[in-house]
Chain A
Amino acid sequence: MPLYSAGVDVGSTQTKAVVLDKQGTIIGRALTDTGASVMGAAQTAFSAAVADAGLKESDVDYVIGTGYGRYKVTFGRTQVTEISCHARGAKYLFPGTRTVVDIGGQDTKAIRVGADGQVEDFSMNDKCAAGTGRFLGGAAAALEIPLSELGELALKGSNPVKISTTCTVFAETEIVSWLARGKQVEDILAGVHLAIAQRTMNLLTRVGIEPEVTFTGGVTRNRGMVTMLERLTGHKLNVSEDSHFMGAIGAGLFAMDKAMGLDTTPVVAPPASA
Chain B
Amino acid sequence: MPELDDIIRKCTESLEDPNMPTVRAWKEAHPDRKVIGHFQVYFPEEIIEAGGWLPVKVLGGGNIVEVRQADAHIASFVCSIIRTSLEMGFNGNLSFLEGLITHPICDGARNVAGLWGRNFPDQLAHILYLPQNANSKGALQFLVDEYRRLIRELEARGFGPLTSDALRRSLGVFNENRRLMRELYRIKRETPWQLPLSEVYVLVRMAGMMSREEHNRLLRRVLELVPERQGRKQDKLRVVFEGGFCEQPPLDMLRALEENCYVVDDDFMIGLRWITSDVPEEGDPLHNLARAYLEQSTYSPVQHDQRKPKEEMLLERIRHSKADACIVSAAKMCEPGLDEQVVYIKTLEAEKIPYLVTEFEEKETVFENFRMQVETFVESIMFD
Contacts and interface: CB of A to CB of B under 8 A. Distances in A.
Let me know if chains A and B touch directly in the complex, using CB atoms closer than 8 Å: yes
Interface of A: 126, 128, 161-162, 164-165, 173-174, 177-178, 180, 198-199, 201-206, 232
B68 A162 contact: no
B72 interface: yes
A177 B368 contact: yes
B365 A180 contact: no
B363 A198 contact: no
Contacts of B76: 126, 128
Contacts of A174: 365-366
6 contacts: A162-B63, A164-B365, A198-B66, A199-B71, A201-B68, A206-B72
Interface in B55-74: 63, 66-69, 71-72
Interface string B363-382: 11110110000000000000
Nearest to B367: A177
A83 B72 CA distance: 19
Contact of A164 (B72, B361, B369): B361
B364 A198 contact: no
Given A202-B72, A206-B72, A162 B67 contact: no
A202 B365 contact: no
A164 B68 contact: no
A205 B67 contact: no
Contacts of A198: 66-68
Contacts of A161: 365
A164 B67 contact: no
Interface in B293-329: none
Which of A161, A162, A206, A232: most chain B CB closer than 10 A? A162
B258 to A, nearest CB: 20
A189 to B, nearest CB: 16
Contact of A162 (B71, B365, B369): B365
Q: Is the interface of A mostly helix, strand, loop or mixed?
A: helix
Contacts of B368: 177, 180
A171 B364 CA distance: 11
Contacts of B69: 205
Nearest to A162: B365
A164 B66 contact: no
Nearest to A194: B66
Given A164-B63, A198-B66, A198-B67, A205 B364 contact: no
Nearest to A165: B364
Contact of A177 (B63, B66, B71, B366): B366
A164 B365 CA distance: 7
Given A162-B365, A164-B365, A177-B368, A203 B72 contact: yes
B61 to A, nearest CB: 12
A177 B364 CA distance: 13
B70 to A, nearest CB: 8
Given A164-B63, A178-B366, 12 more contacts: A161-B365, A162-B63, A162-B363, A164-B363, A164-B364, A174-B366, A180-B368, A199-B71, A201-B68, A201-B72, A204-B72, A205-B72
A128 B369 CA distance: 22
A164 B366 contact: yes
A61 B68 CA distance: 46
Contacts of A199: 71
Interface in B68-87: 68-69, 71-72, 76
B248 to A, nearest CB: 15
Nearest to B250: A164
A174 B366 CA distance: 7
Contacts of A165: 364
A19 B278 CA distance: 80
A202 B72 CA distance: 5
A174 B63 CA distance: 14
Nearest to B74: A202
A39 to B, nearest CB: 33
Nearest to B362: A164
A162 to B, nearest CB: 5
Contacts of B68: 198, 201, 232
In order of increasing CB-CB distance, the 7 nearest A-B pairs are: A205-B72, A202-B71, A126-B76, A206-B72, A164-B363, A162-B365, A202-B72
A65 to B, nearest CB: 29
A162 B71 CA distance: 17
B367 to A, nearest CB: 9
B334 to A, nearest CB: 15
A193 B366 CA distance: 18
Contacts of A173: 369
Which of B66, B68, B71, B366: most chain A CB closer than 10 A? B366
B361 to A, nearest CB: 7
Nearest to A205: B72
Which of B361, B365, B369: most chain A CB closer than 10 A? B365
Which of B72, B363, B369: most chain A CB closer than 10 A? B72
Contacts of A180: 368
A59 to B, nearest CB: 46
A101 to B, nearest CB: 14
A165 to B, nearest CB: 8
A4 B118 CA distance: 51
Nearest to B67: A198
